[in-house]
Amino acid sequence: MATDLYVGKRLSFDGQLCTVRYRGEVKGTKGEWLGVEWDDPTRGKHPGEHGGTRYFKCLSKQPTAGSFLRPNRKSDLPRSFVEALKAKYASEDFEDPDVKIVFATQKGKSSVRISGKEVEEVGFDKIRKKLAALSELKIVILDGLCMERPIARKGEGHDAWPEGLTDVKDACPKAIELDLSRNLFEEWREIASICEQLPNLKGLRVDGTRFRDTTLSLAEKKRCHAAFAAIKTLKLENTLLSWPSLTQLTHLFPSLTAFIASQNLYTTLTQLHIPCPTIKDLSLEENLLTDLSALQPLVQLPELRRLVLKSNNISAVATPTSAVPVFSEKVTEVDLSYNEITSWSFIDALQHTFPGLTSLRISHNPLFTTLTTPDTHRPLTPEDGYMLVLARLPLLQILNYSPVLPKERLNAESYYLSLIAKELASAPMAEEEAILKSHPRWKDLCEEYGEPAVRRVEGGVNPNSLAARLMCLRVYRKDAGEKGEKEIEVPKGATAYTVLGVVSKEFGVKPRMCRLVWETGDWMPAAREEVDEDDDWDSGSESGEEDKARPNSVMREVEIVPGTRSIGTWIEGNEATVRLEVK
């Protein structure tokens, strides 16, 4: 009925959901119009304006979310909860509503007639079985079924929804997971009046619903606490509710541990509105957040363990006018994939913002498509990006879903140290302090592995010359004597695969049988244990015997793992000694 079309009314046309945002005349046209915002923002034609006049505002930021429709346009018929349940799980009962079913008695025996023809009752037994099976359903998915519950809406003379309703409990009393997404609900009371009848409910999903009213009286809030008492997982994706409204809803769930609030167009989270303190797993995926300081209210969540920030626009830790957020050490898992991170300073800051971080997903950010070597600025591979993130964050145990092995961390941190040394070697001495400041782990890594030698060459080779692009490798087989030693020149840009192929050909060994190890010439403590001062050694010795073994020390070695990474990123300098080991 046209008289029932008020602002905030939820409607469906040919399966496309929308919300009435305006009712009235439109300049330059005749008659009355409805201004609607489509749930699918690509469905409309404008943002709520016509002829330069704004008639309504859409929640969506898309310029095509709005349309004007005539009030007499026929909309899809709404369903009750039970009707939606039967349509989804016992649809035979609704296949042909025009068929008349007549129960006749012949010779004292009952029979079933449809359109005058006698039929077997086996079909009805199947329907009865399906209806009976509804009471056994534990996972109930009723998304997109034009469902509404006007009996629970606020009306004249009453605020709370009726008590003692049993329609839902009678239909599917054993439900533990319920999906009510993309329906025609307008008030949160409608959701509560359904869940109130399902005491075993553990998970609730109400995505894609544009609520007109989420406010509740004190009595209604008390009923909600009882209705949602057992629910641990709540999903409110793409509702476009404001952050204050969304957080208030979470406080109606006393046992909530996982909360998903994706696709709600949030650019920041207001300071005074904090979600339910029992939340351990929080997802804000596919919003519009640009920096971590926008998450400041979340640092007050005492039980938060996992934070998903995938597919936002995050590029900074904080803005010039905001403070750097510091989360509890309980937050161990963070997902920052598919954002706009472009600087290593952001990666370095993560151990301060998330001091307990042990699991990180950081793939698909611009930073990893622009990696270059610090000296010649040649492109680095995604594998290099993986190693550099690992080296900069000492507590990581899982990176991009891959467990971090001790050998991987050793290689990553050794590689990072060599890159810092290259950066120092290619820059003037005056820039050393600034360079080391950009690598906060320099001191810790030097204490762990020993400070690498920085070989600055005054008036050195032009980095663009052929000499600068070639590397001389002294490759030897320890078990082959002098005949097992060869000098090989390769381009620094050659991959480790290419170098392995050249070496295997020179020594007549199959590539898969070869293992290449770069002997760096740098010495480090053999193990983490205390030694007497008399046993210490001077790394700055002038005896000319830097390359000889020292007491309680071992040479730092780097295995050149076959791959697409260039040899110039494995080995520091233009010359190197490489040991060939045959497996």
Q: What is the DSSP string of 481-507?
A: GGGGEEEEEEETTSBHHHHHHHHHHHH
Looking at the chain, the number of H-run helices and the number of E-run strands are 14, 25
Q: Which two tokens stand for residue 558?
A: 């780097």
pLDDT at 129: 57
262/140 Cα distance (integer angstroms): 22
pLDDT at 376: 60
Over residues 25-35, mean pLDDT:
92
Nearest to residue 149, comparing CAs of 212, 80, 83? 80
- How many residues in the chain? 583
- When the pLDDT of each residue in the chain is averaged and rounded to a whole number, the result is 84
pLDDT at 131: 53
CA 398 to chain centre: 15
Nearest to residue 34, comparing CAs of 11, 53, 52? 11
- Helix ranges, 450-560 (H): 466-469, 496-507
Over residues 100-110, mean pLDDT:
42
pLDDT at 350: 97
Q: Which two tokens stand for residue 356?
A: 């307990």
CB neighbour burial string for 376-389, b if at least 16 within 10 angstroms, e if fewer: eeeebbeebbbbbb
439/450 Cα distance (integer angstroms): 16
The per-residue pLDDT for range 351-383, each reduced to its tens digit, is 999 999 999 999 999 998 887 766 666 677 888
CA distances from 358 to 268, 297, 328 (A): 26, 22, 13
The per-residue pLDDT for range 477-528, each reduced to its tens digit, is 877 655 578 888 888 878 888 888 888 888 888 888 899 998 887 766 554 4
Nearest to residue 18, comparing CAs of 38, 32, 46? 38
211/184 Cα distance (integer angstroms): 9
Contact 548, 444 (CB under 8 A): no
525/550 Cα distance (integer angstroms): 9
**Span of 85-89, 419-423, 532-536 with lowest mean pLDDT:** 532-536
pLDDT tops 50 at residue 103: no
Domains, the chain, with CATH or none:
9-69 (2.30.30.190), 371-458 (no CATH), 467-525+552-582 (3.10.20.90)
Return the axis-axis angle of helices 382-392 and 344-353, rounded to nearest 10°: 40
pLDDT tops 90 at residue 68: yes
135/408 Cα distance (integer angstroms): 53
169/134 Cα distance (integer angstroms): 11
pLDDT at 75: 94
292/315 Cα distance (integer angstroms): 9
Q: Which two tokens stand for residue 180?
A: 């009510």
SS (H, E, C) 202-241: CEEECCCCCCCECCCCHHHHHHHHHHCCCCCEEECCCCCC
| Percent of the chain surpassing pLDDT 70 | 82
pLDDT tops 50 at residue 116: no
**Burial of residue 298, with CB atoms counted within 10 A of its CB: 0-12 exposed, 13-18 middle, 19 or more buried:** buried
More confidently predicted of 420 and 565: 420
pLDDT tops 60 at residue 542: no
Over residues 170-196, mean pLDDT:
96
Over residues 270-285, mean pLDDT:
95
**Span of 98-112, 184-198, 391-405 with lowest mean pLDDT:** 98-112
pLDDT at 553: 65
Instruction: Report the chain's terminal Cα–Cα distance, integer Å.
Output: 83
Contact 165, 189 (CB under 8 A): no
Q: Is the pTM of this model over 0.85?
A: no
Contact 553, 522 (CB under 8 A): no
Over residues 229-246, mean pLDDT:
97
**Span of 26-30, 260-264, 543-547 with lowest mean pLDDT:** 543-547
More confidently predicted of 89 and 280: 280
- The amino acid that residue 421 corresponds to is A
E strand spans, 14-108: 16-25, 32-38, 49-50, 53-54, 66-69, 101-106
The per-residue pLDDT for range 125-176, each reduced to its tens digit, is 554 455 557 888 999 999 999 999 999 998 755 667 899 999 999 999 999 9
Over residues 218-229, mean pLDDT:
95
CA 478 to chain centre: 49
